[in-house]
Amino acid sequence: MLNLLDDLRARTSPVRCAVIGCGKFTTMFLHQARRLDGLLVSAVADLSPERAATALEAAGYATGEVKIAASAHDLLGDPDIEVVVEATGDPLAGIEHALAAIDGGQHVVMVTVEADALAGPALAARARARGVVYSMAYGDQPALICELVDWARTCGFDVVSAGKGTKYLPEYHFSTPETVWGHYGFAPGYAESARLNPRMFNSFLDGTKSAIEMVAVANGTGLSAPPSGLLFPPCGADDLASVCVPAADGGALAGKGVVEVVSSLRRDGAQVDRDLRWGVYVTLEAPSEYVRDCFAQYGLKAGHSGQYAAMYRPYHLIGLELAVSVVSAAVRRAPTGTARSFAADVVTTAKRDLEPGDRLDGEGGYTAYGTAVPASASIERGLLPIGLAKGARLTSKVHKGSQVGLAEVTFDERSSALTLREGMLAG
């Protein structure tokens, strides 16, 4: 990322981008993008033109300054738009938009990490074949984690684990949009007046979003998902090098080279000291006694044995940092993180006993949550990705806490995402 602003300023024409989906993430990006000479947001699209107009107004744009497209497809393949930011939050729509942009010769910055977790390796391969960039969104945690992993490996370290923090207790897996506000401490009336989306907040709480983000990291770095899903060990910033290391060395992990999410809450609900709820981390292993000594000499918290250390970033600024991805794609033709292999998957796990004929409602809903597993386990067991779960109908009984198989559901329609996904597995 060094000297990226210099590279942008050296351009003879501005980077022109468009954004699909005008929620909070996009509003944050729009606010900062207008401060950069050389970066021009030329158009936005949203299912609600009113929401798009509100986002632009909140970001300080004058009426008519940025085009509000009637349809996202009006922007895809437009030769005057170099970079498309996909921020709908819908994995099926995200994949359709990304495919159209890539085939139209545009770079894609994928804010919709649900789409990336579902078929990121296939989208990245398609982009490489078309000579364009497919990128994670800088400012969101997966891209920042991938950056830390890349930094560690470039410095010559083996990565033991990498991930982020969140608020977690085991019972959260079974939270629904009706119970979510109690876990956050919000009164339902406040949540409604603040226009907070219960399904989105529930996805963060029930572990689905964490699973999605860690799968994106695994596929972008080659790290593995834990064999039985994320453990969410309670851990603060000062204890990363003691907790996020193998159990054989006194930590919480089954082995090395995995993604993991740490909880800001202990299992009794008490707050973890110096929690990493908003941050990201990587744990490293000293390759020699000399490096162990260096860890100690430079003040790193080196864990019980001194063998491991951690680097972390305590906060992420999501859309406020997104311009890094847009500029990097257009100016350097380099992604800020991208899927490189199919290492892990997010599979559908029942929140309650499900009966034949029940319809799944997808991420953040009442029926299921997402679990991160190694890709090999998902393929071998034929499991249903959470990104395909919304609207799928059960053909057999599934018990609470059990994972749902693809053979146990039917779909009303065949989506582009399903076709792309099948091609990815076949290839």
> Would you list the domain boundaries of the chain?
4-140+319-332, 142-168+207-315, 344-426
Question: Which residue is listed with tokens 């994320």?
Answer: 230
The superfamily CATH assigns to domain 4-140+319-332 is NAD(P)-binding Rossmann-like Domain (3.40.50.720)
pLDDT exceeds 90 at position 205: yes
Report the pLDDT value the prediction gives residue 306, as an integer from 0 to 100. 87
Give the pLDDT confidence of 123-151 residue by residue, as tens digits: 999 999 999 999 999 999 999 999 999 99
Domain 344-426 CATH class label: alpha beta
- Using CA atoms, how far apart are residues 371 and 351, in angstroms rounded to an integer? 11
Contact 60, 38 (CB under 8 A): no
Contact 159, 284 (CB under 8 A): yes
Give the pLDDT confidence of 303-330 residue by residue, as tens digits: 778 899 999 999 999 999 999 999 999 9
Report the pLDDT value the prediction gives residue 67, as an integer from 0 to 100. 97
Report the pLDDT value the prediction gives residue 345, as an integer from 0 to 100. 98
**Strands (E) located in 240-382:** 258-263, 280-285, 308-313, 344-350, 368-374
Report the pLDDT value the prediction gives residue 3, as an integer from 0 to 100. 94
Report the pLDDT value the prediction gives residue 176, as an integer from 0 to 100. 95
More confident site: 189 or 401 = 401
Mean pLDDT, residues 259-266 taken together:
98
Report the pLDDT value the prediction gives residue 185, as an integer from 0 to 100. 85
Report the pLDDT value the prediction gives residue 206, as an integer from 0 to 100. 96
DSSP 3-state assignment of 75?
coil
User: Mean pLDDT, the chain, as a whole number?
Assistant: 95
Phi/psi class of residue 299: alpha, beta or left (left: φ > 0; alpha: ψ in -120 to 50)? left
Burial of 98 (0-12, 13-18, 19+ CB in 10 A): buried
- Using CA atoms, how far apart are residues 232 and 211, in angstroms rounded to an integer? 11
Give the pLDDT confidence of 100-115 residue by residue, as tens digits: 999 999 999 999 999 9
Report the pLDDT value the prediction gives residue 192, as an integer from 0 to 100. 79
Angle, alpha carbons 7-136-220 (nearest 5°): 115
Say which residues have a Cβ less than 8 Å from residue 276's Cβ, sequence separation at least 6: 164, 165, 235, 236, 237, 240, 262, 264, 312, 314
Domains 4-140+319-332 and 344-426 equal at CATH topology level:
no
Contact 135, 328 (CB under 8 A): yes
Select from 37, 46, 34 the least CA-distant residue to 13.
37
pLDDT exceeds 90 at position 89: yes
Report the pLDDT value the prediction gives residue 191, as an integer from 0 to 100. 79
CB atoms within 10 A of CB 188: 13
